[in-house]
Amino acid sequence: EVQLVESGGGLIQPGGSLRLSCAASGFTVSNNYMIWVRQAPGKGLEWVSVIYSGGSTYYADSVKGRFTISRDNSKNTLFLQMNSLRAEDTAVYYCARVRAIAVLDYWGQGSLVTVSS
Amino acid sequence: DIQMTQSPPSLSASVGDRVTITCQASQDISYYLNWYQQKPGKAPKLLIFDASNLETGVPSRFSGSGSGTNFTFTISSLQPEDIATYYCQQCDNLPLYTFGQGTKLEIK
């Protein structure tokens, strides 16, 4: 059974850093595209970052230069390192598996990140 | 960048009604369009991929159609458990996985 479990969210001050984890089971992270999608309170879905199976990484303009996506193949885990956090980064962050490069078929339960002083 | 415009932003319908949501792309995306359902407090769930293909395990009252720039998502007979927000997502202009703004569906 495919499962994705996020962790690492919490309350952080503006300018701070946080690392989200997404532990996967039932499939191999490194063989798939993996994506982070966020949802600000009361708002819609926004893709944040994607890592391809070959290792290429891409970022939304809103987080480019501040966020880094990575994976640990030995732990079958996806990460999102978030630096220089801003109030507008406050959101629930979801990780998801990307099937056939384009279809987000399995999602984690989400991890809330709150950026506030 | 491709913009995805969903309408209506919200919708109220009765149990048993046929419900239709539209999604318009700012440029031709062929059939590279997915639909997701998000219930309050939950993660999104894939319903339809490649415009018209029903994901395994999803009830047949859900369907999708369209190609190019205009797409439609339909619930043939609304059920109480279908209360949710529905999102389209284009997958033609990768790696930009752009979502529509969402349509919040409520029971009348």
Residue B23 CA: distances (Å) to CA of B6, B72, B73: 4, 6, 8
- For the cut 90, the answer to whether the pLDDT of residue B95 exceeds it is no
When pLDDT is averaged across residues A82-87 and rounded to a whole number, the result is: 98
A40 touching B (Cβ < 8 Å): no
Token pair, residue A85, equals 């956090």
pLDDT bracket for residue B94 (50, 70, 90): confident
| B70 close to B24: Cβ distance less than 8 angstroms | yes
Q: Which residues of B touch A94 (CB under 8 A)?
A: 43-44
- For the cut 90, the answer to whether the pLDDT of residue A90 exceeds it is yes
pLDDT bracket for residue A116 (50, 70, 90): very high
When pLDDT is averaged across residues A23-32 and rounded to a whole number, the result is: 97
- Asked if A103 and B91 come within 8 Å (Cβ–Cβ), the reply is yes
pLDDT bracket for residue B92 (50, 70, 90): confident
When pLDDT is averaged across residues B89-95 and rounded to a whole number, the result is: 88
Best of A101, A103, A105 to substitute, by most chain B Cβ atoms within 10 angstroms, is: A103
Token pair, residue B67, equals 């190609």
* Min distance B46 CA to chain A CA atoms (Å): 6
Strand pairing partners for B38?
A: B85
Kindly give the residue spans of alpha helices, DSSP state H, lying in chain A. Answer: none
pLDDT bracket for residue B96 (50, 70, 90): confident
Report the share of chain B in percent with pLDDT over 70. 100
